[in-house]
Structure 1
Amino acid sequence: MNAFMTTRNLLLACSITLLAGCGGSSSADTTTTANTAQAATATSTASSATTGSTDASASRPLTTDEINTLLFVREEEKMARDVYLSLYGKWEQQVFENIAMGSEQQHMDVMGSLISHYNLVDPVVDNTVGAFTDPQILALYQDLVMKGSFTLLDGLKVGGFIEEFDINDLQEAIDEAKAGSAPADVIQAYENLMCGSRNHLRAFVGQIEKNNVGYVAQVMPQASVDAIVSTSEEQCGQ
């Protein structure tokens, strides 16, 4: 099992562990105004990842591990989109919809374009919210929606959890690609997605802190999270 697939299994196990504490946090102020500008600009130019480098990468086939990672990231991005859409339906907090439709959908599309470019079979066969090919991703989706449905604050923390883990596993995906066939288009796409995840994390932490609650890192070291959220929003892909 490659390192990225190990992360995949850890992601599911970690999400289930987080559920043990559900319901214990204080209720958030549901009238909080979403930081729409911060969320809407996440991965603003991620779609450029499939242009300008495809000719060079096409001559070097992806390794089996790289293919598995690419397929997983495609469905993982759908999972993030679907969790946020579900939580928006629950809480009507604009940050969830902004990130789901303004960024995660774009992330899905970028991964879909790469899958098409490399003539792979797309695991997203049903675009319905909550429909997944990978049973582990389905379980993760269900667990995170459940956790995020107790209070608005829990929902925002779920957003932080997803983005922290995305940053971690995208870095692993980048390292894997650079050590393998080094496909420039795939690496660029992952880098743009990771940039978007940093912006998303800033957005969720900002909303949590508006409720006078300090954000505690859930996956990454606290110092790494603090370093991200203390810096300005990035213009991804530029």
Structure 2
Amino acid sequence: MNKKNLLVVSLFFVLFLILSFNLNQKKNTNSNNLNNKYEEYVVDSGDMIKEKDLSVSILDLNITAEEKAGLILMREEEKLARDVYRHLGEKWGMNIFFNIADSEQTHTNAIKVLLERYGVEDPVKDDISGKFTSLEMSKLYEELIQKGEKSIVDAIMVGAIIEDLDIKDLEVLLGQTTKEDIVLTYKNLQKGSRNHLRAYSKNLDRQGITYAPQYISEEIYKQIISSEQERGTVK
């Protein structure tokens, strides 16, 4: 390669680096602007469930069919929340989704501990984003992703819908078990979901949008959003 060609190649390379830098700067600026416009949610350490926080003495390792089905449901439902939030975080560059996704990871891990304890087969065969054993969960995932990709407001609305559903399902499951470790886990998951719902609702309010609950009652929803973020671990 002669000196002239080498110079041309070098100039193109430098131009490419400059354009790439400018694009990344623009992307980071847009992301920062979004995070300033919407309130960033700081996850309470109590929402990051640890196995030691749920340790209780268990004498009877037999569970009912309802309890088994409940654990399987929540294992995938918490994974769905994590997967959707990670996707929306990547799509819109908003920290609220990444922060809450980290919390959801500890939630699905907590259910996995219970599945192993009671000898229940884990529905999460391969922890691949968007992949579920339940066809219903797979369909819901696709629907939520499709809605959340429409706009940032729709993405936040999706977050509220997921937490709304989670709170309702956990309330039903709490009525189906008396096992101390399962009850303790469900209550902590539900507390985390209330905190997440508060965060999503607050961000919708800042855009002049009022979330209408789809699963829990209006009364319960108002009680949740009118109260402060819950801290610590439910004992």
Which TM bucket (shorter chain)?
Answer: 0.7 to 0.9
By how many angstroms is 1:162 displaced?
0.7
Residue 90 of structure 2 aligns to a residue whose secondary structure is helix
Q: Deviations over 1:2-35 (max 9, x none)?
A: xxxxxxxxxxxxxxxxxxxxxxxxxxx8452442
Distance 2:203 2:40 in 1: 7
The alignment status of 1:132 with 2:137, answered yes or no, reads no
* Per-residue deviation, residues 33-75 of structure 1 (Å, max 9, x unmatched): 44232x4546244544531x2x33x425100111111111101
1:202–1:148 CA distance, 2 compared to 1 (3 A): same
Distance apart, 1:214 and its partner CA: 2.4
Q: TM-score, normalised by structure 2?
A: 0.80
Query: In structure 2, the residue corresponding to 1:176 is in which secondary structure?
Result: coil
Alpha-carbon distance in structure 2 between the residues aligned to 1:40 and 1:90 = 24
Query: CA 1:137–1:73 in 2, change beyond 3 Å: closer, same or farther?
Result: same
Instruction: Return the offset for 1:227.
Output: 1.1
| Equivalent residue runs for 1:98-177 within 5 Å | 98-101=99-102, 103-177=103-177
RMSD of Structure 2 on Structure 1 (CA):
1.8
Q: Is the contact between residue 45 and residue 236 of structure 1 (CA under 8 Å) also seen in structure 2?
A: no
AA matched with 1:187? V
Matched, 1:78 2:84: no
- 8 Å Cα contact 2:38/2:206 also seen in 1: no
Q: Which has the higher Rg, Structure 1 or Structure 2?
A: 2
- Structure 1 runs (4+) deviating above 4 angstroms are none
CA distance in 2 between partners of 1:118 and 1:36 (Å):
34
Match of 2:47 among 43, 46, 52: 43
Q: CA deviation at 1:236?
A: 4.2
Q: TM-score scaled to structure 1, two decimals?
A: 0.79
Flag the 1:88–1:160 CA change in 2: closer, same or farther, 3 A.
Answer: same
Partner in structure 1 of residue 226 of structure 2: 230
Over the matched positions of the two proteins, sequence identity in percent amounts to 32
Instruction: Compare 203-212 and 104-113 and name the one that shifted more.
Output: 203-212
Q: What corresponds to 2:203 in structure 1?
A: 207
- 2:190 alignment partner AA: M
Runs of 5+ unmatched residues, structure 2: 1-32
How many residues are matched?
A: 201
Give the Cα–Cα distance (whole angstroms) in 2 for the partners of residues 189 and 127 of structure 1: 21
CA gap 1:33/1:47 in 2 versus in 1, 3 angstroms: farther
1:137 corresponds to which letter in structure 2? M
